[in-house]
Structure 1
Amino acid sequence: MDKILQMKQKRAGLIKQMREMVAGAQTAQRSLTEDEKTSYEALRNQAAGLADDIVREEELRELESKLPAPGVMASGSRDEKLEPGIRAARFVKVALLCARGHQMESVTDIAARMYPQDEQLRAVMTESTPEDGGYTIPQNLYNEIIPLLRQTGVTRSLGVSELPLPNGNLNLVKQTGAANFSWVGENKPITSSKVTLGSMKLSAKKLAGIIPISNELLRDSSLAADRFVRDEMVNGIAESEDITALYGSGTEYSPKGVTVACADQKIAVDNVLTDEIIYEMVGKLLSAKLNNPVLAWRIPGVLWAKLYGMQTASGSYIFRDEMKDGKLCGYPFVIDNNIKVGDDINGKTQIFFGDWKNFMIGVESALEIAISSDASFTDGDKSVSAFENDLTLMRAIVREDFGVRYNEAFVWADGVFSKGTKE
């Protein structure tokens, strides 16, 4: 672990002890005893000394970073600033090279050789233990990927609620009926009301994928190669989450998406899109009792032109001006090309509108990876050998589940024509 980080953690522990000592005396409504005062002063002196040490070490590093660095250190200091997710990608590449079993070096030796300036990477590689060629990306590195998922994936970008699933399961209580209050006269009985409660259970499901990576790319320590590995992981997870968030079947092995959880909120269109349909969808959610809703649209790209060009009978554009600012009927929209478009003559598709903070994503663990340079994978209807093509296969697994807390927080229009004319 980095020296400065160790000192900061130790200092935080000392301050915590000081706070607990003072809080205990306050709770007992007394002053500190003489022994406590002595202990408090000792802790304060230690914390002050550590603060001085931290400042001194940071000053030295700042001065050292401005010196001409010999050899590889010229390309980056020990405090190398990296884009989110790059260190996680480096972890994966080093783990892949080590787990292939073709290297005589240890995992830390490979990390030091490929990324000599990255001390944090060597630290986490030391802490990680492979099991049968598999690794779990440390939580601090996986947390770097979460912001990227929010940027890349449509679902997470809309402000969904993310929850941990520490034991793979979580029960969320939700209120399904409100307490009723009424006006009563003096000395008159108050009518009782009953608050009804329901629950929503999240149970971790396995999201898995196989990513073939060329062995030349693995051996390349450039930032471009690191970005490629990172983006392959992030984009694959994000796309799967986006599709499942809308169409997940909610079976034993698959999370439940909006179309299944909110089936009773569907507006069957089976015709061309009109402004009345948009207004109906907005009205449906505005009439629901939602707590501080933050509403947003998900529309397929094939409908953008129809909405942008929609006109009144007099020829005025209905939504064009606000769509230039990224809004539809007063609410932000995102283009989601994972929304299904039928191959029928009308290209039937859907539009989704909702309060996305009521869409829950529960995550049990960090990203798990396993490696093989001998296995094969399926590309369409063809089997491809990793060994014959000088590839290494990475199998990535995330355990998570989705759920909708309140069905009335979402509405979706089905059977919207993306082509053709009104029937």
Structure 2
Amino acid sequence: MDRITALRARRAGIIEQMEAIVASVPEGGDMTVEQTAAFDALRAQDDAVAAQITQAEDLERRRAAAARPLAPLPGVTQPAATVPAAPAEKGLTFARMTRTIAAAGGIPHVAMQIAEANGDSGLFANQNMGSGVAGGFLVPEDVSTEVIEMLRPLSVVTAMGPRVVPMPNGNLTTNRRASGATFTYGGEQQDIKATGVSFGQVKLSAKKLSGLIPISNDLLRSASTAVDRMIRDDALADAAQIQDRFFLRGSGTDFAPKGLRWQTLGTAFETTHVLTMTGSPDLAKVTNDLGRMELALGKANVVFTGAHWVMAPRVAMYLTNLRDGNGNLAFPEMQDGQLRRKPVHITTEVPDNLGAGTESEIMLVHPAHVLVGEHMGIEIAMSTEAAYKDASGNMQAAFSRDETILRMIMQHDIGLRHLPAVAVLTGVTWGA
């Protein structure tokens, strides 16, 4: 197995050299004679190493098939082999992989050897590994699915069930129809009026979401499910919070997504779908304002019965406790996470200190018209020597603090297939 690992590492180095030669060729130009000769020589080396890997892997399979257990000595009972049980909870495989890479000092092939020694030979199966600047990095294509599945229930936007589409090249452009053809009835030999169909586009480009999580090496040295759970929960909670912050209310820059709150800004739907709360709220006005939001979607041919509410905790508590003139709860379904037969998502990422300091906002979003583009898997980098800034902005050194720094990177963007799929009620002082 060590020979196979060494051959794979050698092949990766050869391919990197080939890629460097290709990258050095000017766009639209051809390789020089020297570059062509060097590329052909590297290709021959790669073919030879690939053949050696195939032979070594075939030998490993044959050796395993021919292996026979040793006969036990008389009077000696052989202990049963112990293999770590697979974690029952989702996300623990991701955390166990992270901890193993940290224990290996960020060196991929050492991490594989540690996993095999601990009975986790399949931990890094079918994964893509290489070495990075700050340490080893891992793009766990299989495990990333598991982690993202857990991230979605934590994130309000992704918990609504938007359309998730891949962006293999880091960007995606989708055409959307802005207006349709108009058909009319007419009589015999009357001209048929021609009406055009106009189109728009929704463009997604990968925005990088990244974060650093310092982890005590004392914890990483402990092969415990509790430690795996802590690593997983820290990574998920931090990523979900920031993702929601920008998916909901991000102003939109070259490096950050434009949130659902601002998608209609500067469009014809800004005046119809960005509404203002009716002053001096009471039950009748609250009910009317909620109906106005639903009507905004309905008048744009968006089926509002499939929409979801997004609101701050203060607003949700107000609606939960609101009573009619007889003392009955006005919206008893709020206790079951529903409002007017639509799911309610509560998040602190919708502020309640806007305007004069007491205003909040409510969103009504139809997730079928929300596009979330995802690029690559989750990239993990580990380092025991890197410096980092803590929450107070003070520089810390992982080496002197006996810590391992986990860096997690995801790339994604958000947009709307149809702009009128989001209605916003602003200036909400309910519960203030």
TM-score when normalising by structure 1: 0.75
Alignment of 1:251-400 (within 5 A): 251-263=253-265, 264=270, 265-269=273-277, 271=279, 273=281, 274-290=286-302, 294-313=306-325, 315-320=327-332, 322-342=333-353, 347-374=358-385, 375-400=387-412
Distance 1:344 1:198 in 2: 33
- Shift in alpha-carbon separation, 1:129–1:144, aligned structure 2, 3 A: same
Distance 1:383 1:164 in 2: 37
Partners of 2:304 and 2:345 in 1: how far apart?
A: 20
Structure 2 match to 1:207? 209
* Cα displacement string for residues 215-248 of structure 1 (whole angstroms, at most 9, x for unaligned residues): 0121222222112111222222211111111111
Q: What SS does structure 2 have at the residue aligned with 1:302? A: helix
What is the CA distance between 1:186 and its match in structure 2?
3.8
Q: Which residue of 1 aligns with 2:131?
A: 130
Partner amino acid, structure 2, of 1:416: V
Q: Quote the residue 2:113 is aligned against.
A: 109
CA RMSD of superposed structures (Å): 2.6
1:88 pairs with 2:94: yes
1:251 Cα shift? 0.8
8 Å CA contact 1:346, 1:419 repeated in 2: no
What are the equivalent positions in structure 2 for 1:145-156 lying under 5 Å apart?
145-156=147-158
Check whether the contact 2:297–2:304 (CA below 8 A) recurs between aligned residues: no
Q: Please list, as runs of the form range in 1=range in 2, the aligned pairs for 1:162-241 lying within 5 A after superposition.
A: 162-241=164-243
Query: Partners in 1 of 2:136 and 2:208 — Cα distance?
Result: 16
Contact 2:355 2:427 in 1 (8 A): no
Q: Secondary structure in 2 aligned to 1:121?
A: coil
- Write the distance in 1 (CA, Å) between the matches of 2:139 and 2:223: 19
1:62-113 CA-partner distances (Å, limit 9, x unpaired):
xxxxxx972533x53xxx3643222222222222222357x9x822122123
Find the partner of 2:247 among 240, 245, 248. 245
- Assess, with a 3 A threshold, how the Cα gap between structure 1 residues 344 and 202 changes in structure 2: closer, same or farther: closer
2:15 corresponds to which residue?
none
Preserved CA contact (<8 Å) 2:217 2:404: yes
Q: Is the 8 A contact 2:350 2:360 kept in 1?
A: yes
- Name whichever of 92-101 and 162-171 sits farther off: 92-101
Q: Report the alpha carbon displacement of residue 175 of structure 1 after superposing the two structures with TM.
A: 0.5
Name the CA distance, whole Å, in 1 between partners of 2:275 and 2:166: 33
Seen in structure 2, the aligned counterparts of structure 1 residues 141 and 376 have a Cα distance that, compared at 3 Å, is same
Name the SS of the counterpart of 1:130 in structure 2: strand
Q: Number of aligned residue pairs: give it.
A: 344
SS in 2 for 1:171: strand
1:231-286 deviation per Cα after TM superposition (whole angstroms, max 9, x unaligned): 22222221111111111111101111012213412222385652222121122222
Q: Corresponding residue for 2:419? A: 407
Tell me, yes or no, if the aligned pair for 1:246 and 1:259 is still in contact at 8 Å.
yes
Q: Which moved more, 1:191-200 or 1:82-91?
A: 82-91
Task: Single out whichever of 354-363 and 170-179 deviates more from structure 2.
Answer: 354-363
Say if 1:128 and 1:135, in contact at 8 Å, map to a contact too: yes
Tell me: CA distance 1:257–1:323, structure 2 relative to 1, closer, same or farther (3 Å): same
Give distance in 2, aligned partners of 1:99 and 1:246.
Answer: 38
The 10-residue stretch of structure 1 (159-168 or 179-188) with the greater mean CA deviation from structure 2: 179-188
Deviation at 1:382, TM superposition (A): 3.0
> Given that residues 297 and 353 in structure 1 are in contact (C-alpha distance below 8 angstroms), is that contact kept between their aligned partners in structure 2?
yes
Letter paired with 2:129? S
| Cα distance in 2 between the residues matched to 1:417 and 1:382 | 38
Deviation per residue, 1:99-155 (Å, 9 max, x gap): 357x9x822122123x41x33214246x52223314132211111112111221111
CA separation in 1, counterparts of 2:430 and 2:393? 30
Taking a change above 3 Å as real, the CA distance of residues 392 and 296 of structure 1, as seen in their structure-2 partners, is: same
Distance 1:294 1:221, change over 3 A: same
The one-letter amino acid of 1:70's match is A
Q: 1:240 to 1:271 in 2, by over 3 A?
A: farther
Give, in whole Å, the separation in 2 of the partners of 1:205 and 1:171: 15
Contact 1:270–1:348 at 8 Å: present in 2 too? no
> Residue 103 of structure 2 is aligned with which of 91, 97, 101?
97
Distance 2:171 2:259 in 1: 18
The CA deviation at 1:343 is 7.6
2:278 & 2:221 partners in 1: Cα distance?
53
Q: Mind listing any 5+ residue stretches in structure 1 that lack a counterpart?
A: 1-56, 58-67
Using a 3 Å threshold, how does the CA distance of structure 1 residues 272 and 364 change in structure 2: closer, same or farther? farther
Amino acid aligned to 2:295: G
* 3-state SS of paired residue (2:301): coil
- Aligned partner of residue 231 in structure 1, secondary structure: helix
SS at match of 2:413: strand
Change (3 A) 1:225 1:209: same
